[in-house]
């Protein structure tokens, strides 16, 4: 580069010495003809050496060489490679090779400029490591995280979010979370877009499994360089177990209140029976004594039924399946219910075939289920004052692979709203006289047998409960 002059008296060598990169001139044999000051400082003396000997401490030419490529076609070539300086430190350089030709002939020399990008490469590697670390934290966070734009479109989601709601990226949040076609109101994300503040609220969402979940939603702004909200991160924590526990505690409270009212009524009935018994003995009135005993027996049976329902609700138990005769079971329940029905002048009718109906089931559980349905039918007739005569019909039928138990009455009946709540825990149409456990437990037993209970009812006309169970439960 010596001897080459530029306008104003500046030499080309002095210009190259000022450049913040390594500059060399090489001939066709890869010999280093000239180099700038920065190159000499970093790699040492170069006279009589080839470029790959100085740059890489190698004895053979590189697999790809931009300088060779420029000699071959006369155009500029670039590349990226690792070099080793005189201190043995490895550096990454970006190479630009340009051919020097005279009068359009073949190149005699090639100028190679190598820019040290080691720090940039290290920064990029560190950036990739940090991005991978933050991505890991993002994906493994024990909550559902999504990033949404102003149109409420999901533009990013973590692994747990995708597992719960599917790949919702590119879809609207309310489509992903709630399978809705309209935006939710109020919306924590929209509020964050408006005021740049963190907002939170509780929502109910529907994952791909179809099972609803209660979540506590936090929305936080993601700001651009100018301080504007460019997107919002929505973090949803699943609090379903907490709500279920809260629900159970509320159920316990309702159970205590319901049972207290029921037991209070039963104790009042027992007091009445004791009074009749005591005064009958004092007056030697055997009819009064008999009436008092009957009242006491009736209320003791009701106490036993209430306690049985409470125990069944409070303790989860596995069903014990065995071969049983549905007709025999129906007779047992009918015999137990006949005495109470007669007290209120209610007729009991039984319909079932003469031949046994063999099925698989838990005898004690099914007996409790039918008893609750029959007790409910008797109560429906007992409180109905609009008719002179009442009847409860209990039936058992076989239909192919199913057994159908039927309990019907001509009591007060139910409207649609009452039917919808019939199997709800602690719901009772008898006010303080009922615990609200009977039909709930009956339905629970039917479901445990992989069956179902169908209800048909008309207000002031009566109701029919049909229990449909598979004959074979494996």
Please give the average pLDDT of every successive group of 10 residues along the chain, which has 474 residues: 48 80 92 92 91 89 90 92 92 93 80 94 93 89 94 94 93 90 89 94 88 91 93 94 75 61 68 86 88 80 68 67 94 85 91 94 88 89 92 93 95 85 64 60 88 92 94 72
CA-based max dimension of the chain: 146
pTM higher than 0.85: no
Q: What is the pLDDT of residue 428?
A: 57
Report angle CA 417, 421, 427 to the nearest 5 degrees.
125
Going by C-alpha positions, the residue among 133, 178, 175, 176 that lies closest to residue 157 is 176
Q: Please state, in angstroms and rounded to a whole number, the distance separating the CA atoms of residues 223 and 28.
A: 55
State the sign of the Cα–Cα–Cα–Cα dihedral 168, 171, 174, 179: negative
Determine the pLDDT at residue 403: 96
The reply to whether 7-122 and 141-238 are identical in fold is yes
Rounded distance between C-alpha atoms, residue 88 and residue 57, angstroms: 9
Fold classification of 7-122 is Beta-Lactamase (3.30.450)
- 331/333 Cα distance (integer angstroms): 5
Enter the tokens of residue 146.
Answer: 């999504």
Which residues are CB-contacts of 101 (< 8 A; sequence separation ≥ 6)? 74, 107, 108
Q: What are phi and psi of 265, to 5 degrees?
A: -65, -40
The residue ranges of every structural domain in the chain are: 7-122, 141-238, 246-314, 322-470
Domain covering 322-470: architecture: 2-Layer Sandwich (3.30)
Sole residue written with tokens 């966070």: 141
Return the structure tokens found at 24: 């060399």
SS (H, E, C) the chain: CCCCECHHHCEHHHHHHHCCCEEEEECCCCEEEEECHHHHHHHCCCCCCEHHHHHHCCCCCCCCCHHHHHHHHCCCEEEEEEEECCCCCEEEEEEEEEEECCCCCCCCEEEEEEEECHHHHHHHHHHHHHHHHHHHHHHHCCCEEEEECCCCEEEEECHHHHHHHCCCCCCEHHHHHHCCCCCCCCCHHHHHHHHCCCEEEEEEECCCCCCCEEEEEEEEEEECCCCCEEEEEEEEEECHHHHHHHHHHHHHHHHHHHHHHHHHHHHHHHHHHHHHHHHHHHCCCHHHHHHHHHHHHHHHHHHHHHHHHHHHHHCCCCCCCEEEEHHHHHHHHHHHHHHHHHHCCEEEEEECCCCCCEEEECHHHHHHHHHHHHHHHHHHHHCCCCCCCEEEEEEEEEECCEEEEEEEECCCCCCHHHHHHCCCCCCCCCHHHCCCCHHHHHHHHHHHCCCEEEEEEECCCEEEEEEEEECCCC
Return the pLDDT at 184: 85
> For strand 213-223 and strand 390-399, is the pairing parallel, antiparallel, or unpaired?
unpaired
CATH fit for domain 141-238, picks 3.40.50.720, 1.10.3720.10, 3.40.190.10, 3.30.450.20: 3.30.450.20
């Amino acid at each position: 580069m010596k001897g080459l002059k530029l306008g104003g008296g500046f030499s080309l060598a002095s210009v190259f010495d000022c450049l913040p990169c390594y500059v060399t001139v090489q001939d066709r044999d890869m010999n280093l003809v000239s180099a700038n000051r920065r190159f000499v400082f970093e790699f040492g003396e170069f006279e009589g050496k080839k470029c790959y000997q100085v740059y890489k401490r190698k004895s053979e030419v590189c697999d790809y060489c931009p300088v060779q490529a420029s000699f071959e076609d006369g155009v500029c070539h670039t590349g990226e490679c690792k070099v080793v300086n005189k201190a043995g430190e490895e550096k990454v350089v970006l190479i630009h090779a340009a051919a020097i030709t005279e009068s359009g002939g073949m190149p005699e020399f090639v100028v190679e400029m190598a820019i040290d990008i080691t720090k940039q490469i290290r920064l990029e590697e560190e950036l990739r490591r940090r991005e991978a670390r933050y991505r890991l934290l993002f994906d493994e966070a024990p909550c559902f995280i999504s990033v949404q734009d102003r149109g409420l479109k999901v533009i990013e989601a973590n692994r747990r979010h995708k597992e719960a709601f599917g790949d919702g990226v590119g879809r609207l949040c309310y489509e992903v979370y709630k399978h809705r076609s309209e935006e939710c109101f109020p919306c924590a994300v929209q509020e964050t877009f408006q005021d740049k503040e963190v907002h939170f609220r509780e929502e109910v969402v529907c994952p791909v499994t179809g099972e609803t979940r209660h979540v506590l939603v936090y929305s936080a702004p993601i700001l651009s360089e100018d301080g504007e909200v460019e997107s919002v991160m929505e973090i949803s924590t699943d609090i379903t177990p907490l709500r279920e526990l809260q629900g159970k505690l509320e159920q316990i409270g309702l159970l205590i209140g319901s049972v207290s009212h029921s037991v209070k009524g039963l104790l009042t009935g027992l007091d009445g029976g004791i009074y009749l018994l005591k005064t009958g003995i004092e007056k030697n009135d055997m009819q009064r004594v008999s009436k008092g005993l009957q009242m006491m027996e009736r209320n003791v049976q009701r106490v036993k039924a209430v306690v049985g329902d409470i125990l069944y609700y409070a303790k989860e138990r596995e069903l014990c399946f065995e071969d049983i005769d549905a007709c025999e079971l129906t007779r047992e329940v009918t015999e137990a219910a006949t005495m109470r029905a007669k007290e209120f002048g209610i007729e009991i009718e039984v319909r079932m075939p003469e031949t046994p109906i063999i099925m698989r089931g838990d005898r004690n559980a099914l007996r409790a289920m039918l008893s609750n349905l029959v007790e409910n039918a008797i109560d429906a007739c007992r409180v109905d004052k609009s008719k002179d005569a009442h009847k409860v019909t209990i039936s058992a039928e076989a239909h192919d692979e199913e057994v159908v138990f039927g309990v019907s009455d001509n009591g007060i009946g139910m409207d649609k709203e009452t039917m919808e709540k019939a199997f709800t825990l602690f719901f009772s149409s008898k006010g303080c006289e009922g615990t609200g456990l009977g039909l709930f437990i009956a339905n629970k037993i039917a479901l445990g047998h992989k069956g179902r209970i169908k209800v048909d009812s008309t207000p002031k006309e009566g109701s029919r409960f049909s229990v449909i169970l598979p004959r074979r439960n494996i």
